[in-house]
Structure 1
Amino acid sequence: MIAGVDEVGRGALFGPVVAAAVILPPDVYSALAESGVTDSKRLSAGDRLRLAVQIRSVALDCRIGIASVQEIDRLNILQASLLAMRRAVMRLNPSPNFCLVDGHQRIRDLPILQQPLVKGDQKSLVIAAASIVAKVWRDELMIRLAAKYPDYDLAINKGYGTAKHQAAIQRVGISAQHRLSFSPCQSVAKQAQV
């Protein structure tokens, strides 16, 4: 059983990094490919949502792992991304025999055979499926958090550093969900301490 794992939210200024791990039965690969499963960044929001529902309905298992803003700031974004991936893979039931990991880094302390795959979300259907599930899950989280943090335009920017988001950071400051280790937030945090 092969799992695919990918993360989303590495470049965002706000919120956790989110990973999804997916195990697909071999007989659904062609149907998912025909439905348009590919790298989530190449799909519209509507297509991602439609495909995420389809993927979840046919997957043997599909799990989410997150690394918090505090973990991102403490570990760095790469290590936090790998931690989120590890958490997602370790929650899978049944446990896979092999894991395809998007990117060029191996997941540390993963007790499962693994293979990093650069641009894996474009080369591997199971990684692409994980990228879609992760993106939809994180986008939905950002929409929910937009109600709690209305100043930052999160429903639109999903936590990424758009001009409007950065202007809001300058105007109202940072929230508890902003990544202090990222430069736009770091500079505002330092100004607040002076």
Structure 2
Amino acid sequence: MARRPSSGSLPLFEEDIVPTFRFEEDMMRDGFMPVAGVDEAGRGPLAGPVVASAVILDPQRIPDGLNDSKQLTAARRDELYDAILATADVAISSLSPSSIDRVNILRASLEAMRRAVASLPRTARFVLVDGRDIPAGLSCHAKALVKGDARSFSIAAASIVAKVTRDRMMTAAGVTYPQYGFEQHAGYGTKMHRAAIKAHGPCAIHRMTFGTLKTSDAAHDARPLPIPPHKGEG
């Protein structure tokens, strides 16, 4: 049986990390209700938005199987996405590739998280944030949890909602820009994606300050295609 990590610290072994509702319960016992978890998807890709979600779970109706979205199959993420939206308070926000290029991916990710928390239908009294950084401008107390999506049910739920939302946005982008295969790699720097950029140049949803795009001849020679509208832009 996995050992429970002490509050605020990582366990000694990776296999000991399991999501629970304990962090949320600790905050609620201290009088902070409701508690939200927040996470993002899309920090690493060469294209597409960064998407954040904030989730306030109903302690009496927590969906079974919540975990870090990366540990779940796409089919299981879709199932949990529906279950989360049916039982919890959820908000989603995204920042566009041009915004990411303007302010950098870390600041864009944190701003998307802040906007998601601010958009919740109920005001959170405490926020559990995945990672090491807390978004500036939150109107409540917050705690950063390293690997929080594998430790907190609320953050795990937020990671699932953000991941499924972004994957669906990139699938739609694949219809608009079929030459890049966004529906297959979601904008990450796969061999297929890099070959498409080399052959066709970047389009308007590529992040021009990222990696090889920043200095590539394609970045200077190609005429960007128009960016498709999408819901969730905040």
Q: Aligning the two structures, in what range does the TM-score lie when normalised by the shorter sequence? A: over 0.9
Of 50, 65, 85, 1:17 maps to 50
1:123-147 deviation per Cα after TM superposition (whole angstroms, max 9, x unaligned):
0000000000000000010111101
Letter of the structure 1 residue corresponding to residue 156 of structure 2: A
Other-structure match for 2:65 = 36
Q: How far apart are 1:192 and its partner, in Å?
A: 2.3
Secondary structure of the corresponding residue to residue 115 of structure 1: strand
Mapping 1:104-143, distance limit 5 Å: 104-143=132-171
- Pairing 1:94–2:127 present: no
Q: 2:86 — aligned with what? A: 57
Q: Gapped runs of 5+ residues in structure 2?
A: 1-33, 223-234
Separation in structure 2 between the aligned mates of residue 184 and residue 165 of structure 1, nearest angstrom: 12
What is the aligned partner in structure 2 of residue 156 from structure 1?
A: 184
The aligned amino acid for 2:195 is A
1:76 maps to amino acid: N
How far the C-alpha of 1:67 sits from its partner, in A, is 1.1
Q: Is the 8 A contact 2:53 2:116 kept in 1?
A: yes
Give a deviation string over 1:61-113, Cα, whole Å, max 9, x none.
10101111111111111000001101110000111100000000011111111
Larger Rg: 2
Higher RCO (Cα < 8 Å, 6 or more apart): 1
TM value normalised by structure 2: 0.78
CA distance in 2, matches of 1:118, 1:170: 36
The DSSP-based 3-state class of the residue aligned with 2:128 is: strand
Counterparts of 1:172 and 1:71 in 2: how far apart (Å)? Answer: 23
Residue type of the alignment partner of 2:74: A
- 1:23 and 1:100 map into 2 onto residues whose CA distance is 10
Per-residue deviation, 1:22? 0.4
Structure 2 residue identity aligned to 1:13: L
Identity %: 48
User: What letter is aligned with 1:25?
Assistant: D
| Whole-Å separation in 2 of the counterparts to 1:146 and 1:124 | 33
- Alignment partners' CA distance in 2, 1:40 and 1:118: 15
1:5 alignment partner, SS class: strand
What is residue 215 of structure 2 aligned with on the other side? Answer: 187
Give the equivalent residue in structure 2 for 1:27: 60
Alpha carbons 2:43, 2:105 under 8 Å: kept: yes
Counterpart residue type for residue 66 of structure 2: V
Detail structure 1 runs of 4+ shifted over 2 Å in the superposition: 187-193
Q: Are 2:37 and 1:4 equivalent residues in the alignment?
A: yes
Q: Secondary structure of the equivalent of 1:12?
A: coil
Query: Could you tell me which residue of structure 2 aligns to residue 47 of structure 1?
Result: 76
